[in-house]
Amino acid sequence: MTATTSLAVRAKDPAALRRLLTAPAAGPLAALILASVFFSLSTEQFLSGGNFSLVLQQVMVVGTLAIGQTLIILTAGIDLSCGAVMAFGGILIAKTAVEGPLPPLLAIALGILACGAFGLANGLLVRAVPLPPFIVTLGMLNVAFALTHIYSAEETVTGLPEPLTFLGRTFPLGRTDVTYGSLVTIALFLGFAYALSSTAWGRHVYALGNSSESARLSGIRVNRLTVGVYAIAGLVYGIAALLLVSRTGVGDPQAGQTDNLDSITAVVLGGTSLFGGRGTVLGTFVGVLIVGIFRNGLQLMGVSSVYQTLVTGVLVILAVTVDQLSRKGTR
């Protein structure tokens, strides 16, 4: 099916076809569409607006984390601390709002800024010492995890005030219910897609990821840029923390423990290269949806969760294989 359409397009405009196929997100998008078609045929509940809205709601937290992760991976870095930092932000928001002393909106601001501070610390360590991002964020993962558990005393925080759960609420759109938080996630994806593709900052991020040294020689202040990217990613994790709290309706110290790997999975599935400088944030969105749709679709079919994990694993290996093969092609 795909082959015939591609051939038809090629006949008309070879350049357009090449652009389409070489776009990093083309493969993932094809996988997403095929999977959706398959699930629509095999379960009666898959193809409903309500179900798609549910998937969006389920992926909004990891999706938002994956935006920050994409930025960092584009600079040829990696962030293992994102889930733990988010969990800290979430528990900070929930606890300061429920037990005081802060009004809910200030608690939210504090949580987001605290995550930003973690990001800033990551960035400074990566550049100032300098240390490999893998090591810095591995350390920060443990620091954030421990602080979360110390601060929360292992207690789940319940009874959250309304402003904290607002984003988890739904509003009717046509015949389905959409969560406000999904809109925040989509807006963030669109915002960062624009910033990366159409601003000088975005071009600098790609340049840095391709070659830090060339970027420096061409006048980009690489240290400031890197630290900024990690700090911005941290702030994005803070927003993810708010989404997490609003989605589950509690402050959960156990949250986010596998979200670092889940976000990397989404970034890789979305066609972003782990070696930096190549990829898009919209590709990541597709990657996030692939994971969410496979999990949802297989669950609707009654397939148990180990198979969902199996499928995700195979998809990740395929995605990296595609990245490697297409790199060879450009050499």
Partner 1 sequence: MSRRARPVLAVGALALALSLTACGSGSGGGAQSGGKIKVGLITKTDTNPYFVKVRQGAEQAAKTSGVELTTAAGKFDGDNTSQVTALENMVASGVKGVLITPNDSKAIVPAIAKARAKGVMVIALDTPPEPQSAVDALFATDNVKAGELIGAYAKAAMGGKPAKIATLDLAPGVSVGVQRHEGFTKGFGVAASDPSIVCSQDTGGDQAKGQTAMENCLQKAPDINLVYAINEPAALGAYTAIKAKGREKDVMIVAIDGGCTGVQAVKDGKIAATSQQYPLKMAQDGVKAIVSFAKSGDKASGYTDTGVQLITDKPQAGSESKDSGFGRENCWG
329 is a contact residue toward partner 1 (CB under 8 A) = yes
Q: In terms of CB distance, is 124 or 320 closer to partner 1? A: 320
Q: How far is the CB of 144 from partner 1 (least distance, A)?
A: 16
| One-character DSSP codes across 177-215 | EEEHHHHHHHHHHHHHHHHHHHSHHHHHHHHHHH-HHHH
Q: In terms of CB distance, is 100 or 154 closer to partner 1? A: 154
- The interaxial angle of helices 26-42 and 14-22, nearest 10 deg, is 80
Alpha-helical regions (H) of 250-304 = 259-269, 281-301
State which of residues 115, 252, 272, 287 lies at the interface with partner 1 (CB under 8 A): 252
| One-character DSSP codes across 141-155 | HHHHHHHHHHHHTTP
153 is a contact residue toward partner 1 (CB under 8 A) = yes
Q: How far is the CB of 142 from partner 1 (least distance, A)?
A: 16
16 is a contact residue toward partner 1 (CB under 8 A) = no
38 is a contact residue toward partner 1 (CB under 8 A) = yes
- Cα 228 to the center of its chain, rounded Å: 18
Binding-site residue total for partner 1 (CB under 8 A)? Answer: 66
Q: Which of positions 40-69 make contact with partner 1 (CB under 8 A)?
A: 42-45, 50-51, 54, 57-58, 61
3 is a contact residue toward partner 1 (CB under 8 A) = yes
Report the residue count for the chain. Answer: 331
Which of 273, 265, 275, 278 is CA-nearest to residue 313?
265
Q: Which of positions 288-317 make contact with partner 1 (CB under 8 A)?
A: 295-296, 298-307, 310-311, 314-315
State which of residues 34, 106, 128, 217 lies at the interface with partner 1 (CB under 8 A): 34
176 is a contact residue toward partner 1 (CB under 8 A) = no
30 is a contact residue toward partner 1 (CB under 8 A) = yes
State which of residues 5, 22, 142, 198 lies at the interface with partner 1 (CB under 8 A): 22
5 is a contact residue toward partner 1 (CB under 8 A) = no
Q: In terms of CB distance, is 199 or 321 closer to partner 1? A: 321
**Under DSSP, is residue 297 helix (H, G, I), strand (E, B) or coil?**
helix
Residue burial 189-209, b: 16+ Cβ < 10 Å; e: rest:
beebbeebeeeeebebbbbbb
What sign results for the dihedral spanned by CA atoms 30, 201, 235, 189?
negative
Q: How far is the CB of 239 from partner 1 (least distance, A)?
A: 17
Q: How far is the CB of 173 from partner 1 (least distance, A)?
A: 17
Residue 319 CA to residue 271 CA, distance in Å, equals 7
CB 182 within 8 A of CB 170: no
Q: Which range in 114-122, 123-131, 149-157, 210-218 contacts partner 1 by CB under 8 A?
A: 149-157
318 is a contact residue toward partner 1 (CB under 8 A) = yes
Q: Which two tokens stand for residue 316?
A: 């990740």
6 is a contact residue toward partner 1 (CB under 8 A) = yes
Residue 209 CA to residue 75 CA, distance in Å, equals 4
Q: How far is the CB of 235 from partner 1 (least distance, A)?
A: 22
Q: In terms of CB distance, is 53 or 75 closer to partner 1? A: 53
The backbone torsions φ and ψ at residue 210, rounded to the nearest 5 degrees and listed phi first, read -70, -45
What sign results for the dihedral spanned by CA atoms 143, 146, 150, 153?
positive
CB neighbour list of residue 205: distance below 8 Å, 6 or more residues apart: 71, 74, 75, 196, 225, 229
Give the binding site for partner 1 (CB under 8 A): 2-3, 6-7, 17-18, 21-22, 26-28, 30-31, 34-35, 38-39, 42-45, 50-51, 54, 57-58, 61, 153-156, 158, 244, 247-250, 252, 254-258, 295-296, 298-307, 310-311, 314-315, 318-319, 321-322, 325-326, 329
